[in-house]
């Protein structure tokens, strides 16, 4: 048998799951480089990610614990709702995606997202908007209104497999989500944690 096939791949080198959100500044393409600088899961108890964004580092590593934070409250709400009810999130997305990949449906969804209070429906709208907006950008104006234009993406799809993989990963390890800026997140770190 080929020697390479016999060697065990280190836990943090497994093929990472693909993030279900497209995110500007995502670290997915940089994971190989990051792995050279990250400590082994045996060396630290918890990985602290103060800019979780699309969650590529979380999905591409295998630590026992994670502290995942971001200044974007809508983003953290999405992760909490996906963790707590991934199947329900997919059902909500099926309804939204049924409306179609067109500018009118996008505008109506964006208006609803900007109007409703935080909850599972708003999180589903966030994922829908992320899949249909220009380049997966997340941007708000000074009044806190999501204002990214329609992206005319032919490849918009319900990221069901990616959502389920994310939810399974949250079950395999201890994950804490926080809506906080990086400075406050770093203040939460203690011995045995590594801030990425």
- Alpha carbon distance 51, 179 (integer Å): 10
Among residues 170, 140, 175, 171, the alpha carbon closest in space to that of 69 is found at: 175
Q: What is the pLDDT of residue 188?
A: 84
Could you tell me if 164 and 138 are in contact, meaning their C-beta atoms sit under 8 angstroms apart?
A: no
Q: What is the pLDDT of residue 94?
A: 96
Q: What is the pLDDT of residue 100?
A: 79
Among residues 111, 160, 101, the alpha carbon closest in space to that of 133 is found at: 101
Q: What is the pLDDT of residue 3?
A: 40
Mean of pLDDT over the chain: 87
The phi, psi pair for 102, rounded to 5°, reads: -140, 160
- Alpha carbon distance 23, 56 (integer Å): 10
Q: What is the pLDDT of residue 24?
A: 80
Task: Give 34-88 pLDDT, tens digit per residue.
Answer: 667 788 888 888 999 999 999 999 998 899 999 999 999 999 999 999 999 999 9
Q: What is the pLDDT of residue 90?
A: 98
Q: What is the pLDDT of residue 7?
A: 37
- Alpha carbon distance 185, 157 (integer Å): 33
Q: What is the pLDDT of residue 95?
A: 94
Q: What is the pLDDT of residue 187?
A: 87
Structural domains of the chain in order of their starting residue, each with its CATH number: 17-195 (1.10.1020.10)
Residues of the chain below pLDDT 70: 1-16, 25-26, 28-35, 191-196
Q: What is the pLDDT of residue 167?
A: 98
Structure tokens at 135: 């380049």
Q: Alpha carbon 89 to chain centroid distance?
A: 14
Q: What is the pLDDT of residue 141?
A: 98
H or E segment and range at residue 95:
helix 86-98
């Amino acid at each position: 048998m080929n020697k390479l096939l016999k060697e065990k791949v280190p836990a943090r080198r497994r093929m990472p799951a693909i993030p279900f959100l497209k995110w500007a500044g995502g670290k997915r393409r940089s994971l190989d480089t990051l792995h050279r600088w990250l400590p082994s899961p045996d060396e630290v108890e918890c990985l602290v990610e103060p800019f979780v964004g699309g969650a590529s580092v979380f999905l591409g590593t295998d630590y026992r614990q994670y502290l995942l934070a971001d200044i974007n409250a809508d983003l953290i709400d999405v992760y909490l709702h996906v963790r707590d009810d991934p199947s329900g999130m997919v059902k909500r997305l099926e309804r939204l995606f049924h409306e179609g990949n067109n500018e009118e449906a996008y505008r109506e969804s964006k208006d609803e997202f900007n109007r409703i209070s935080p909850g599972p429906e708003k999180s589903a709208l966030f994922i829908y908007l992320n899949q249909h907006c220009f380049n997966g950008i997340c941007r708000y104006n000074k009044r806190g209104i999501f204002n990214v234009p329609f992206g005319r993406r032919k490849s918009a799809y319900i990221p069901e497999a990616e959502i389920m993989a994310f939810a399974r990963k949250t079950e395999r390890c201890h994950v804490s989500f926080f809506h906080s800026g990086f400075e406050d997140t770093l203040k939460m770190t203690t011995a045995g944690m590594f801030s990425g």
